Structure 1
């Protein structure tokens, strides 16, 4: 884990994502929080003793935290005792993309690249249609994955997949100038838009499963 040692007593601190957590009880019946914390370097088991819901209830799965504590070896594996913890905030300057598998470009950059193509459409009706759909779904598109487990099942994967196919379509249009570019590009940009809502996705941009609608209907029918 990319934690920093802050004193001679072995105390460390750093930022991490909560991969899993469970409230358990000691042999004496005292609640504690059993966690798996992760960052770009790996993961570590952790314990937060004397857990109180009213104090630590903000800790949820996929929360981005700043933690302080000590690391020891338990059952031949490193384990962290968490002494202090809080949610990461904007002033910390940490990005969730650094803690989960993510597209190599930011969501904003990929979205802007697609919008630039749409703005060059000559067909006003298609331009209005595609821009309306993009604007309605922008917030989710910036982090939505393209799949639950298959291709581009990463943060920003939907935009990355869409932009990749769009670049291929642009190459095809250069080879075959008779192709109606606006129609081709519109189909590419919107072909997977119904994946938004198909998966259960947290703010991390990683899908944890399918929604009821995604299971019963799916993006192929909805889209």
Structure 2
């Protein structure tokens, strides 16, 4: 089959097995491995404004360097040390859709490092599919509607440089909301869901502080400002790898609580939500949720993560193939229904 010209990631993911394709992507992640014969290959994740693709690059693939304005030769090989530094760089891809164990697999047969001036990574940067104006408006509505000391604290925290970074930051390097404005999109989804759950629980007769729920939900992932960075693609910081965003978020929160004079009771309420929002110790929470507010935020966070994985897994499926590939993050396949 003749290769299509310059498809985006969404179009590539819809191709049938055997299809050839060409595309321009930004490398999000790359790791070198060895096959059963000891030959090196690479697991690569690439992204564009339409999403991301995970692919294999086998030992017989070509790696070319066309990053200079005037290439030294018609066939400039990319050395291994440059290959390992491709994260965040724009590359040209020649690939093929293969079938492996009944599932589609993307193989990149030729990767070309392009001129980063002519093909700037920012032009291929994934962003939230929701307009930033809508996200910002929804966030402001939640903050304005939050009362008491927790609401006053939010209105002091989410200003200036912190707000600017929070608005633009990714929520992850992979798995979910791994794009610009992803942290804001995920936080809003969690906070709106948590608020609805809290209101429902109040109606059912449970003693739930809705202002604490909203504030805790809006603050729960604040540690990701220190765990990730947004250069051309989302990247994890050294601190993020060693300390994780839960611990970093709690440290940043305590600094802000001291700066703005948060009372001990409110600091404990909100700090507990930050430390327990992953729900279980094996998922990275040093403590498990022990208050109604913490249980609600943790549940909303888990639900939004799983809903994102479902949507990302089924969005390109057809009626003929309604079951997704295995999703490692959630340990299941999804049904498009």
TM-score, normalized by length of structure 2? 0.41
Q: Does 1:186 align with 2:234?
A: no
Deviation at 1:62, TM superposition (A): 0.9
| Greater helix proportion | 2
Judged with a 3 Å threshold, the aligned counterparts in structure 2 of structure 1 residues 128 and 106 are, in CA distance, closer, same or farther, namely: same
Q: Does 1:166 align with 2:191?
A: yes
**1:4 aligned residue:** 6
Return 133-142 or 209-218, whichever deviates more: 209-218
**2:26 aligned residue:** 17
The correspondence for 2:231, drawn from 203, 210, 223, is 203
**1:79 aligned residue:** 109
- How far apart, CA to CA, are the structure 1 residues paired with 2:213 and 2:240? 31
Q: Does 1:176 align with 2:176?
A: no
Q: Does 1:130 align with 2:132?
A: no
- How far apart, CA to CA, are the structure 2 residues paired with 1:186 and 1:113? 14
CA deviation vs aligned residue, 1:8-27 (integer Å, no higher than 9, x gap): xxxx9753213468xxxxxx
CA deviation vs aligned residue, 1:64-119 (integer Å, no higher than 9, x gap): 46x5x9889xxxx75337496343359x9x4411xxxx655355533431112112
Judged with a 3 Å threshold, the aligned counterparts in structure 2 of structure 1 residues 192 and 209 are, in CA distance, closer, same or farther, namely: same
- How far apart, CA to CA, are the structure 1 residues paired with 2:113 and 2:6? 15
Unpaired runs of at least 5, structure 2: 8-20, 31-43, 72-81, 97-106, 254-337
- How far apart, CA to CA, are the structure 1 residues paired with 2:248 and 2:155? 23
**2:272 aligned residue:** none
Judged with a 3 Å threshold, the aligned counterparts in structure 2 of structure 1 residues 173 and 86 are, in CA distance, closer, same or farther, namely: same
- How far apart, CA to CA, are the structure 2 residues paired with 1:2 and 1:41? 17
**2:164 aligned residue:** 139
Return 132-141 or 40-49, whichever deviates more: 40-49
Q: Does 1:110 align with 2:139?
A: no
**1:30 aligned residue:** none
| Greater strand proportion | 1
- How far apart, CA to CA, are the structure 2 residues paired with 1:181 and 1:83? 51
Unpaired runs of at least 5, structure 1: 6-11, 22-35
Give 4+ residue runs of structure 1 displaced > 6 Å after superposition. 69-72
Give the paired residue count: 189
Q: CA RMSD in A?
A: 4.8
Q: Does 1:219 align with 2:243?
A: no
The answer as to whether partners of 1:148 and 1:209 remain within 8 angstroms in 2 is no
